[in-house]
Amino acid sequence: MISHHRYLSSQKWNAFISSMPFNLPTEVIGYSVLKQPIYAHSLGNGPIKVLIWSQMHGNESTTTRALLDVFDFLFQPSGKRLLEALTLMIVPQLNPDGADAYTRQNANGVDLNRDALDLTQPESFALEALFKRFIPNFCFNLHGQRSIFSAGKNGKPATLSFLSPAANQERGITDARTKAMQLIACIHKSLQEYIPGQIGRYDDTFNPNCVGDRFTSLGVPTVLYESGHHGLDYDRNFTKEVTVKAIISGLQSIASRDYLKQSIDDYNLIPQNSEDYVDLIIQNIEIRSEGHVYKNQELAIQYTEKKVGDEVHFIPICVDFAEKIDCLAHQVLTADEVFHEPYVDYTRGRTIEIS
Ligand SMILES: [Zn+2]
């Protein structure tokens, strides 16, 4: 399996931006470890300010691609009306070095979402300085999640997940959290017609070094968006489409104040993310493991991502086998569909070739 869209380098993104049919107001808010500019775009002049950043994890490109369509929307009549109520500050690639290397971390190997308090990295510092200068009323923290998550126990993948991060160790419901929860409830409702039952909610364990937790603790409602998986959409094109809807829905709810009609209960009813999926289950396979032979088994495969040139390759890794695998899969095949030999030499974590 190969994706041509998941790898979104800074060069590729900058080319997308410059090919847009309109001029995006642009400023440099800082420089990455490898001295690349970090760009922000300010749009609108409304009284409510929303700070949005994406790709703080370099290999999470789907939300950044979604922003291209959001920009497009904002230059349409309905988008322009929204910009009378809102002022947006958007940082599409907070971690351009990680985007180029297709890594979660920045060029120093640091996870920027564990550096919000320490501010050891120039990218973290740039976001913090922008936050202090812009003084947002709301923040959207855009991420991508792996294909392992289901939305609760309904047998559906978490194509999108959300979190209103905790503001303190006690995970109390502060004013900022309440607003973020109401907003997420609103977005959840608006997306049910597109992805019914496919939205999950993350665990709210407090970590002051996570950006969302920090900004929430400073009193600003912050919504964590996680673009997830659906079927065989490893390019995440469908996910990108629903992410666009989710971002626009969030902005519309803020502008219209519709979120105030939702309750915390509506948020708490969103099913919790659960790690229930593998990418592939192969049925009717003979497993040879540690001198034993197990007939008619199911083999669970998880893909690991590898950047090859400007593509992302999904490498199959064996993770489990059993007579009946106790998890969900995005794809189920039989051994004769994928192997020349009707057996597999199994070791957990081993890479296998499938056709
Ligand atoms: Zn992330």
Written as six digits, the tokens of 154 are 């309904």
Number of Cβ atoms within 10 Å of the Cβ of 288: 12
How close is the Cα of 109 to the center of ligand 1, in Å?
Answer: 14
Last residue of a domain, one of 275, 304, 325: 275
User: pTM score, two decimals?
Assistant: 0.97
Written as six digits, the tokens of 133 are 């200068």
Residue with tokens 């081993």: 350
What percent of the chain shows pLDDT beyond 70? 100
How close is the Cα of 197 to the center of ligand 1, in Å?
Answer: 22
Over residues 109-132, mean pLDDT: 97
Over residues 204-231, mean pLDDT: 96
How close is the Cα of 144 to the center of ligand 1, in Å?
Answer: 5
If asked whether residues 101 and 173 sit together in one domain, one would say yes
Query: Count of alpha carbons within 13 Å of 52, Cβ hemisphere only?
Result: 23
If asked whether residues 222 and 297 sit together in one domain, one would say no
- pLDDT given at position 286: 96
Over residues 191-203, mean pLDDT: 96
- pLDDT given at position 341: 83
Sorting pLDDT into bands at 50, 70 and 90, what band is 353? Answer: confident
How close is the Cα of 45 to the center of ligand 1, in Å?
Answer: 29
- pLDDT given at position 204: 93
- pLDDT given at position 213: 97
Number of Cβ atoms within 10 Å of the Cβ of 91: 25
Over residues 273-301, mean pLDDT: 96
If asked whether residues 299 and 216 sit together in one domain, one would say no
The secondary element (H helix, E strand) that includes residue 10 is helix 10-18
Over residues 8-27, mean pLDDT: 94
Last residue of a domain, one of 275, 293, 317: 275
Last residue of a domain, one of 238, 254, 275: 275
User: What's the burial of 62, exposed, middle or buried (CB within 10 Å: 0-12/13-18/19+)?
Assistant: buried
C-beta of residue 150 within 8 angstroms of C-beta of residue 156: yes
CA-to-CA distance for 250 and 189, rounded, in angstroms?
11
CA-to-CA distance for 100 and 257, rounded, in angstroms?
38
Written as six digits, the tokens of 334 are 């039989």
If asked whether residues 271 and 334 sit together in one domain, one would say no
If asked whether residues 118 and 180 sit together in one domain, one would say yes
CA-to-CA distance for 253 and 150, rounded, in angstroms?
26
Q: What is the pLDDT of residues 52-99, one digit of tens each?
A: 999 999 999 999 999 999 999 999 999 999 999 999 999 999 999 999
Mapped onto helix, strand or coil, the DSSP state of residue 196 is: coil
Residue 355: inside a domain, yes or no?
no
Residue 353: inside a domain, yes or no?
no
Work out whether the CA dihedral 172, 175, 180, 184 comes out positive or negative: positive
If asked whether residues 165 and 290 sit together in one domain, one would say no
Residues 172-175: contacts with CB under 8 Å, at least 24 apart: 173/264, 174/216, 174/219, 175/219
Sorting pLDDT into bands at 50, 70 and 90, what band is 354? Answer: confident
- CATH number assigned to the domain comprising residue 161: 3.40.630.10
The rounded Cα 90 to chain-centroid distance in angstroms is 16
Mean pLDDT of the chain: 96
Over residues 23-35, mean pLDDT: 96
Q: What is the pLDDT of residues 147-193, one digit of tens each?
A: 999 999 989 999 999 999 999 999 999 999 999 999 999 999 999 99
How close is the Cα of 293 to the center of ligand 1, in Å?
Answer: 40
What percent of the chain shows pLDDT beyond 90? 96
Sorting pLDDT into bands at 50, 70 and 90, what band is 340? Answer: confident
If asked whether residues 268 and 330 sit together in one domain, one would say no
Q: How many domains does the chain have?
A: 2
Q: What is the pLDDT of residues 103-113, one digit of tens each?
A: 999 999 999 99
If asked whether residues 184 and 326 sit together in one domain, one would say no
Residue 350: inside a domain, yes or no?
no
Residue 144: inside a domain, yes or no?
yes
Residue 355 has pLDDT above 90, yes or no: no
Nearest to 92, CA basis, from 123, 116, 56: 56
How close is the Cα of 283 to the center of ligand 1, in Å?
Answer: 33
Question: Which residues have C-beta under 5 Å from ligand 1, the single-atom ion?
Answer: 57, 60, 143
Q: What is the pLDDT of residues 235-249, one digit of tens each?
A: 999 999 999 999 999
Residue 326: inside a domain, yes or no?
yes
- Angle at which helices 237-256 and 62-74 pack, to 10 degrees? 50
If asked whether residues 133 and 248 sit together in one domain, one would say yes
Structural domain of 306 = 277-345
- pLDDT given at position 148: 97
Written as six digits, the tokens of 92 are 């599409």
